[in-house]
Amino acid sequence: MSKLTKLEISVLREFCENFPEYFDKSFDFDTVENSERSFSGKGFMTELPTIPEFQTATHIDRLVWDKATATINGSILVGFLVFLEDGHLSAVEGFTFGESWPEMIMNFEINKD
């Protein structure tokens, strides 16, 4: 169990900005604890804890958002999926496009389309 990383927080904030009618973009993701993160070698999956503030899109059964990408450490392009189940933000996944996931993220930039 761990806190969210700065990268995960940035992706989740980007998601919330894209759906302001459902999610308060001022929610403090820095306070989220008890997230479960696993690594695959090419990326990660972080399951979010059940938090009432994440349960705001109650009429949406399932949504997978794939509109975010970032550049990590200046050259590694990565993509993200944000999962919404039963109206609840449930997970964020990050993945490379063939490269190994870096052991350390020195810097990143969320790509704005």
For the segment 95-109, the average pLDDT, to the nearest whole number, is 94
Nearest to 29 by CA among 69, 82, 73, 70: 82
Residue 90, domain extent: 6-111
- Any residues with CB less than 8 A from the CB of 10 and at least 6 apart, and which? 70, 108, 110
Please give the model's pTM, rounded to 2 decimal places.
0.89
**For 5-33, what is the mean pLDDT?**
85
Tokens of 110: 């969320």
In a domain, 1, yes or no: no
- Residue 29 tokens, joined: 């993701």
Number of domains in the chain: 1
- If phi over 0 gives left and psi between -120 and 50 gives alpha, with beta otherwise, what is residue 93? beta
- Is the predicted pLDDT of residue 25 greater than 90, yes or no? no
Task: Report the pLDDT averaged over residues 106-110.
Answer: 95
Mean pLDDT of 2-26: 85
